[in-house]
Amino acid sequence: MRVLFTMHAAAAHLFLVVPIAWAMRAAGHEVVVAVQPDIVDDVTRTGLTAVPVGEPSNIAERLASIPADQQIFGSGYDIAEERPEVLTYEYVRDCMAAFASPLALDLITDESMYDDMVAFCREWRPDLVVWDSITFPGPVAARACGAAQVRSTFGRDHWGRMRSLFLRMRAERPEALGEDPVADWVTAKLARYGCAFDEDVILGQATIDSMPVWTRFPVEHDYLPVRYVPYNGPAVVPDWLRAKGPGRPRVCFTLGVSGRDMWGGNGSIGAADLFEAVADLDVEVVATLNADQLDPDLKVPDNVRIVDYVPLNSLLPTCAAIVHHGGTGTFGTSMAHGVPQLVVPARLYDEGGMARQVAEEGAGLVVQPEELSTRTLRENLLRLLGEPSFRENADRIRRVAEATPAPHDLVGDLEKLVARHRAETGAPAAPAAPAAAG
């Protein structure tokens, strides 16, 4: 069958689904990845086929130029909000409305991506569309061409949690039964292509969830669990990483792919704070920072190695701990290798929530940005390295993750979902690829 993957112009979101896309390809299915031109080269470097759709996003430049009150971050609403006293019906309704607007979802994927996605899907006729959970050209195009469609998460599913909460709270308020800002937003998108609204356009016919089971919210929805498999992009393992280590604990420091690509290199942890915290410790720190993330006047301690890039999947098996910002890919790779985590959470999506859960599992520690100092970094890092329980619990959650179905196990579930969709809707299978000339 033909399978289309799509996500907005963020390489970190692409990297989360590469193992799944390759599992589909290895099973004999035809796979393409439809993305904005910004990350077409990132797609082709994975060995997958890219289809450019829409105008360039230029999201980093636009975010830097847009005032905070014109972005979701300055709206006063947080999709990851979990405090019961804050989650009134009005807050939940207005929070989802703020995301389904030019403040957020319409900022990252504009109408040009919708138009090109629909045109391509109507021509290519995929059997299945797999869409990143904030990239709505995916389900709209699937609806327009009759394909089955599933979401893929990039963290804990706060969108699904908030949607479920909104519907439950609205049902308790007869006067609010006509209110649904997200449905109104999606309906307007669909109407442009002659399609009617369906609830599954908001949450997918199912959701591929690569987060561990202990992070999942109690949402009544068809989740397809899959093991997180690290993919870091094309890379070469450097000689120093293959050589025998220095005989002291190695610590990784990273701000992630998105921090570098989308947020101007800025992150929740300053290199100066970390360097001062570790300067006299008997550790080796590998800091994955480029020139834009380093002050040229900053003195680098002798026990810190600066590398522009090294694949975390190769580096972390040699590490006793990692210090990071709380991104999904960094968390997942750390979990996959059983590495204790010290998280100073950024404030972009759910970094704070994930950091709390890692700490609750005993596999890491959290330093809030407002509490960040040389002293707090040093004290928490020493705890992480010195107390065996952190490594033991990190290894435990690694084993839990390894018990989750791998991407190749997911292929059969997706094939069955497409078969059910065809049976229920009468949608024909996509045409077979032309046979090679003999």
Reported as a single tens digit per residue, the pLDDT across 122-166 is: 999 999 999 999 999 999 999 999 999 999 999 999 999 999 999
* Reported pTM: 0.93
Q: DSSP labels for 26-51?
A: HTT-EEEEEE-GGGHHHHHHTTSEEE
pLDDT in tens, 178-231: 899 999 999 999 999 999 999 999 999 999 999 999 999 999 999 999 999 999
Residues of the chain with CATH 3.40.50.2000: 2-227+405-425, 239-401
Position with higher pLDDT, 315 vs 266: 315
Among 19-23, 214-218, 267-271, the minimum mean pLDDT is found in 267-271
| CATH number attached to the domain at 239-401 | 3.40.50.2000
93-118 burial string, b = 16+ CB within 10 Å, else e? Answer: bebbbbbbbebbbbbbbeeebbbbbb
**What's the gap between Cα 21 and its chain centre?**
15
321: nearest Cα among 371, 372, 270, 394? 394
pLDDT of residue 435: 43
* CATH architecture designation of domain 2-227+405-425: 3-Layer(aba) Sandwich (3.40)
340: nearest Cα among 328, 353, 327, 324? 324
How buried is residue 176: exposed, middle or buried, by Cβ count under 10 Å (0-12/13-18/19+)? middle
Q: Are 68 and 107 in contact (CB under 8 A)?
A: no
